[in-house]
Amino acid sequence: MQETAVIEVKGVHKSFKTVHAVKGISLRIPKGQFVALLGPNGAGKTTLVEMIEGIQKPDEGEILILGKHWKSNEEELHRILGISLQETRYIDKLTVAETLQLFASFFNLYRDRVDSIIDLIGLEEKRKSYVVNLSGGQRQRLAIGIALLNNPKILLLDEPTTGLDPNARREIWVILMKLKEQSETTMILTTHYMEEAEQLCDYIIIIDQGEILKEGNMEQLLNSDQEKKIVEFTIESNSFSREITETGSPFQIQWDPARKKGIVEIHHIDKELPALFEYLGQRNLQLKNLEFRKRTLDDLFTSLTGRHLHE
Amino acid sequence: MNRINRENQLFQLILARIKETIREPGVIFWGMIFPMLMSLGLGIAFMNKTDIFRRVGVIIHNQDTISTGDSTHVLQSFLQHQTEKINNPKDRFPAYKFTIRDEKLGNSIFLFQEMRWDEAMVLLKRGNMSIVLNEQKGQIGYHFDPLNPDAQLSYLKLSGVFGKKGNPVAENRTNIQPLTVRGTRYIDFLIPGLIAMGVMMSTMWGISYDIIEKRSKKLLRRMVATPMKKYNFLFALMTVRLVMNFLEAALLFIFSAIVFGISIQGNIGALFLIFMAGSIAFTGIATFISSHTSKTEIGNGFINAVVMPMMVLSGVFFSYHNFPDWTIPFIQPLPATILADGLRSIFIEGAGFAEITVPSLILITTGVVFFTAGLKIFKWH
């Protein structure tokens, strides 16, 4: 029997003036799951999340949250949802504590909840600082704090770490991992950082151009071609030849001209590796370095679309 | 319990809005200090009688000298006997100072300077002086542009001096009674105008700009994605603005009462009514123009488009009756005109509810109509 879905999206479409942003996406997200919507900028992630948040209406299809439609259930759904929108800027001249207190009042919550959130997001020292004086990472932590005020059953975070430095990003991951341990909250997070999806989420949905390309947990996504290995190699910079990516070669080599790096997927090390050496040698390409590494979500995305997640 | 909680939400919204407003130094300056400075500047500019200083060119035909003391030459003898010779080595023209004393209107100080005709014409063209005198056969000739009011005034004053046979008079003995009765001075006209302007400017900027800015920061859509009641948000915004308007106006009034002795001659209740009605009118207009755009630049344009014409036309600083007659029917229905006229009638004409009820109803209706229309197209997301 299938687990009851907390969020159910059925055949949803959404178009804007010139863009068909979401093209028939369906999802079922069970309780307590942390889900990543992974895709490059403009993939349709924000549009999809905003439809789930009730901010946008789908042109077609339906969205059910705990079995309820947005229409005529707004008040109730607002109470169980915690959201953080992309690029929200809070009131400059209110302090951290005052901002939280304001949002707490919308949920009829009192000061003790504000205090425990400030503790959770690690802004104790900044509780009396104006929002305008916070760093990017602190603002984002405040935004997540606001999203968590009402102990939401469903947390929707739209690119919570975009534009943050690695440390600030990690601080946000820590908050979310703590939440995962301590509560039964279901979370959808949009991101174009594969590490974020890998670190935080049980289930990853790869989206591009308004469609789901692939979904599953990390193992399902990466081990579906378990025998495939990734070989990355560099060659002496002046010996690069176009031949390396010529059609008809026995290897499908992706060439990254910026990093002067070639990537090739091979199935059988013992047979294919000597063949690769021979192939390069025949073309007088001098190998400088070569390494095997695990397949990543970016490799998967590239193999599906021919582009990188960050392009 | 539920009721208390709802009040809590509204209370927090109002509290946040107050903090946000008073923590912005610009709000205090433009809303409270600037109108006071303006009343001070304008009030003093139009009240003080200052000495008026004028240069007069004197053409001496007999080039050799005026020191011969030929008494048939009125001008020459006047300069010699009635004036004070000034020795300024930097000025190449011999100069003589003559003062007409007037305690009520302020002294007029004339500086007569001898020069040739062509020299006088150069100074006239440069605007350094506006009148030139010469004398032919015992008659004084006045040369000036009849369209220049300053030159005309000089002419009138000087002809008063030279018109009298015998000794020219250096004192104004006519009986002038300046109007300093309360309610008839320029400052009495100005203060209600400034209060009306304050209500318009503060409400338009305070409400419109705030809504547009919150929309552009995506804060508005974040707030409505909670159980926050939209009407609480708007109500908090308006309540705080109304209280701020009241404080700003009260401060300006107290200031002008102390400095200029302004008083309210009409009914205080009626004053409160028209003040509230004006605030409601501009709140409605402000909500309407900020209902859709999320670009602050466009918002600025909208606000200016509303505010600027009324600043000029509605008689804030000067009576709109100076505009051509055909424009008056277009100016009078403007909300700022109705408000300024209403405030003035209470401040200086002693009006009460009878005179103020209809204009107040018009203002309230304007506000309600714009507000309702604004809400219909209001973009929260």
CB distance A158 to A45 below 8 Å: yes
* 3-state DSSP of A127-175: CCCEHHHCCHHHHHHHHHHHHHCCCCCEEEEECCCCCCCHHHHHHHHHH
Per-residue pLDDT, A267: 79
CB distance A157 to A184 below 8 Å: no
A11, A12, A21, A252, A268 from A17: Cα distances, Å: 20, 17, 10, 39, 49
- Shortest CA gap B248–chain A (Å): 21
**Would you say residue B125 has pLDDT above 70?**
yes
**Would you say residue B174 has pLDDT above 70?**
no
**Would you say residue B3 has pLDDT above 50?**
no
**Would you say residue B68 has pLDDT above 80?**
no
Any idea which of A10-24, A81-95, B5-19, B168-182 has the lowest mean pLDDT? B168-182
* Count of positions (residues) in chain A: 311
Phi/psi at A197 (nearest 5 deg)?
Answer: -60, -45
Confidence of residue B327 (pLDDT cuts 50, 70, 90): very high
- Shortest CA gap A311–chain B (Å): 26
> In chain B, where are the structural domains located?
51-178, 186-377
The arrangement of secondary structure in B51-178, i.e. its CATH architecture, is 3-Layer(aba) Sandwich (3.40)
Instruction: Give percent of chain B above pLDDT 70.
Output: 87
Per-residue pLDDT, A1: 41
* Chain center to CA of A219: 17
Rounded Cα–Cα distance for residues A143 and A86 (Å):
10
Confidence of residue B59 (pLDDT cuts 50, 70, 90): confident
Report how many Cβ contacts below 8 Å link chain A to chain B: 67
The mean pLDDT of B233-239, rounded to a whole number, is 94
Confidence of residue B99 (pLDDT cuts 50, 70, 90): confident
B230 in contact with chain A, both atoms CB, cutoff 8 A: no
B217 in contact with chain A, both atoms CB, cutoff 8 A: yes
- The DSSP-derived string for B139-195 is EEEEE--TT-HHHHHHHHHHHHHHHSSSSPP-B--S------STTSSHHHHHHHHHH
CB distance A288 to A232 below 8 Å: no
Per-residue pLDDT, B62: 52
3-state secondary structure of A212: strand
What number is the ipTM of this complex? 0.83
Q: What's at A105, amino acid-wise? A: S
- Shortest CA gap A149–chain B (Å): 11
CB pair distance less than 8 Å for B218 and A91: no
A24, A53, A99 from A94: Cα distances, Å: 42, 26, 6
In the numeric block, which tokens belong to residue A170? 């990690």
Per-residue pLDDT, B1: 43
The per-residue pLDDT for range A111-133, each reduced to its tens digit, is: 889 999 999 999 999 999 999 99
The per-residue pLDDT for range B269-317, each reduced to its tens digit, is: 999 999 999 999 999 999 999 999 989 899 999 999 999 999 999 989 8
A132 in contact with chain B, both atoms CB, cutoff 8 A: no
**Would you say residue B106 has pLDDT above 50?**
yes
Q: For an interface test with B, which of A105, A157, A158 has the most B Cβ atoms less than 10 Å from its Cβ?
A: A105
Rounded Cα–Cα distance for residues B279 and B286 (Å):
10
B8 in contact with chain A, both atoms CB, cutoff 8 A: yes
Sheet containing A20-30: order of strands: A20-30, A5-15, A60-65
**Would you say residue B165 has pLDDT above 60?**
no
Q: What does the radius of gyration of chain B's CA atoms come to, in whole angstroms?
A: 30
Give the predicted TM-score (pTM) of the model. Answer: 0.77
* Residue from A143, A156, A160, A186 nearest A82 by CA: A156
Kind and range of the H or E element at B200?
helix B186-203
CB distance A79 to A19 below 8 Å: no
The per-residue pLDDT for range A127-177, each reduced to its tens digit, is: 999 999 999 999 999 999 999 999 999 999 999 998 899 999 999 999 999
CB distance A155 to A187 below 8 Å: yes
In the numeric block, which tokens belong to residue A81? 């949802």
A310 in contact with chain B, both atoms CB, cutoff 8 A: no
CB pair distance less than 8 Å for B16 and A94: yes
Rounded Cα–Cα distance for residues A201 and A224 (Å):
18
Any idea which of A190-204, A212-226, A245-259, B321-335 has the lowest mean pLDDT? A245-259
* Residue from B173, B180, B50 nearest B107 by CA: B50
Q: What's at A72, amino acid-wise? A: S
Q: For an interface test with A, which of B28, B222, B230, B379 has the most A Cβ atoms less than 10 Å from its Cβ?
A: B222
Would you say the C-alpha torsion A263, A267, A273, A277 has a positive or negative sign?
negative
Contacts of B5 in chain A (CB under 8 A): 108
Put simply, the chain A residues between 103 and 122 with a CB less than 8 A from any chain B CB are 103-108
Contacts of A89 in chain B (CB under 8 A): 217-219
- How many helices (H) and strands (E) in chain B? 15, 6
Instruction: For tokens 């009011």, name the residue.
Output: B149
Any idea which of A11-20, B57-66, B80-89 has the lowest mean pLDDT? B57-66
Per-residue pLDDT, A2: 55
Any idea which of A36-40, B88-92, B217-221, B306-310 has the lowest mean pLDDT? B88-92
Any idea which of A57-61, A70-74, B79-83, B222-226 has the lowest mean pLDDT? B79-83
A172, A225, B138, B270, B332 from B315: Cα distances, Å: 58, 81, 51, 21, 10
A128 in contact with chain B, both atoms CB, cutoff 8 A: no
Burial of A149: CB neighbours in 10 Å, binned 0-12, 13-18, 19+: buried
Q: In the predicted model, what is the mean pLDDT of chain A?
A: 87
Per-residue pLDDT, B67: 44
Rounded Cα–Cα distance for residues B228 and A26 (Å):
30
A73 in contact with chain B, both atoms CB, cutoff 8 A: no
Per-residue pLDDT, B231: 92
Confidence of residue A276 (pLDDT cuts 50, 70, 90): confident
Per-residue pLDDT, A297: 84
The per-residue pLDDT for range A39-79, each reduced to its tens digit, is: 888 889 999 999 999 999 999 999 999 999 998 899 999 99
Rounded Cα–Cα distance for residues B160 and B172 (Å):
9
**Would you say residue B81 has pLDDT above 70?**
yes
Contacts of A104 in chain B (CB under 8 A): 12
Q: What is the DSSP letter of B129?
A: -
The mean pLDDT of B170-192, rounded to a whole number, is 70
Burial of B216: CB neighbours in 10 Å, binned 0-12, 13-18, 19+: middle
Rounded Cα–Cα distance for residues B114 and B91 (Å):
11
Rounded Cα–Cα distance for residues A64 and A9 (Å):
6
- DSSP β-ladder status, A203-208 and A34-38: parallel
Q: In the predicted model, what is the mean pLDDT of chain B?
A: 85
The mean pLDDT of A188-213, rounded to a whole number, is 91
Rounded Cα–Cα distance for residues A263 and A252 (Å):
8
Rounded Cα–Cα distance for residues A92 and B133 (Å):
68
Instruction: Give percent of chain A above pLDDT 90.
Output: 53
* Residue from A143, A141, A201 nearest A170 by CA: A141
More confident residue, B28 or A52: A52
